[in-house]
Amino acid sequence: MMWTWTDCLCVTLLLLLQRAGSEKFEVLGPTRAIVAVAGDDIILPCYIKPNISAEDMRVDWFRVNLPDPQSNIRVHLYQDGRDKYHDQIRSYEGRTSLFKEELKKGNTSLKLTRVQGTDDGQYKCLVQSKTHYDDATIQVHIRAIGSKPELSIEGQKEGGMGLLCVSKGWFPEPELEWLDSEGVTLSAGPSETDRDYKGFYIVKLKTIVKETDTNHFTCRLRQRQLSEQINMETEFHISSELILVHTDTWRVAFAVIVSLSIVLVVILAFTIWRCNRLSNDYDASKAKHSQELVKDEHSLELS
Ligand SMILES: *[C@@H]1O[C@H](CO)[C@@H](O)[C@H](O)[C@H]1NC(C)=O
Ligand SMILES: *[C@@H]1O[C@H](CO)[C@@H](O)[C@H](O)[C@H]1NC(C)=O
């Protein structure tokens, strides 16, 4: 088969087009996790190699491994030369942007402002041309130092006085512990964990205390998951009267019950004694009576 010059041109053009369209690239992210302090503005690095322009590509930033598989995953989408926000996760609203000047150089990094607890986790940066795509994974760790533990009295509980310790605004989750004045851990209920709307942790721990020599109690917070451990302590002194008022109520109630019981027992004992005596008297008189009858019979026989 003979090739005409038009065939040759077509093949050459096709090859050229294919080469241009299928320009291969790699998407690269940071080699280490990004550690961000709550409230900061951060850059999630992502770029393509070789550094061709990404202006005409689709740049898709999304979350992976979210706890709820049904939830939306989109963080930021750039497509057809524009940012598209229609299916963005609510918590990212107004906080994401790409560097438009940098896109020309293949830099598809994402700017995320005012980071919060919900931003913690894994991200993917997916860059797609007409014929090729690649992605990179970026891990983000959020760090937030919360409030000093706050203590309050919950009131009289079975076995003593209920105390509550609460601390807010943490990431990751800290641990709480109740201590007595000698630093000995007090038994406490299970610690309760909540997250606020920004994803920061709120932790609560309850305990029940009895009166001690000092009535001094401490709630200790520990954040062990950070490179440097954080310890915070809040001390609490309950006035003796406060515990006593409540303990007294119990003491008085107890005393009343005990005294009433004693009185009842005395009355009961007396009643039983009286009854016994009465029945004894009755028996005695009956015996006397029958003796007299026997005597009468005897006298009858004798006569
Ligand atoms: C791409 O990288 C090369 C080499 O690092 C550099 O000389 C060139 O200016 C870059 N191009 C763009 C568009 O940034
Ligand atoms: C991408 O752009 C951001 C923002 O200007 C910059 O901080 C970062 O170093 C750039 N990354 C690369 C690989 O050029």
How confident is residue 8, by pLDDT bands cut at 50, 70 and 90?
low
Instruction: Check if 99 has its Cβ closer than 6 Å to any atom of ligand 2.
Output: yes
Nearest-angstrom CA–CA distance, 206 and 159:
13
Q: Which of 41, 102, 112, 125 to mutate to test the pocket of ligand 2 (most atoms within 8 A of CB)?
A: 102
> Can you give the pLDDT at residue 137?
97
**Residues 111-128: pLDDT tens digits?**
999 999 999 999 999 999
Average pLDDT over residues 25-40: 96
Same fold for the pair 24-142 and 150-238: yes
More confident residue, 197 or 272: 197
Region 202-221 average pLDDT: 93
- How high is the pLDDT of residue 286? 64
Domain ranges of the chain: 24-142, 150-238, 241-280
Looking at residue 207, the DSSP 8-state letter turns out to be E
Give per-residue pLDDT as tens, 62-92.
Answer: 999 888 888 889 999 999 999 999 999 999 9
CA separation for the pair 73, 64 (Å, rounded): 7
Ligand nearest to the CA of 53: 1
Q: Which of 100-109, 235-244, 287-296 has the lowest mean pLDDT?
A: 287-296
240 pLDDT more than 80: no
- Hey, what CATH class is 24-142 in? mainly beta
51 lines ligand 1 (CB under 6 A): yes
Of 59-63, 102-106, 193-197, 263-267, the one with minimum mean pLDDT is: 263-267
Beta strands in the chain (DSSP E): 26-28, 34-37, 42-44, 47-49, 58-64, 74-79, 82-84, 96-98, 110-112, 121-128, 133-143, 150-157, 160-170, 175-180, 192-195, 201-209, 216-223, 230-237
Cis peptide before 45 (omega within 30 of 0): no
More confident residue, 36 or 11: 36
**Percent of the chain whose predicted confidence (pLDDT) is above 70:** 79
CATH number for the domain running over 150-238: 2.60.40.10
Pocket test for ligand 1, best of 25, 47, 49, 51 (most atoms within 8 A of CB): 51
pLDDT band at residue 12 under the 50/70/90 scheme: low
Is 105's C-beta closer than 6 angstroms to any atom of ligand 1? yes
What whole-number distance in Å separates Cα of residue 236 and Cα of residue 262?
A: 41
pLDDT band at 225 (very low <50, low <70, confident <90, very high): confident
pLDDT of amino acid 14:
55
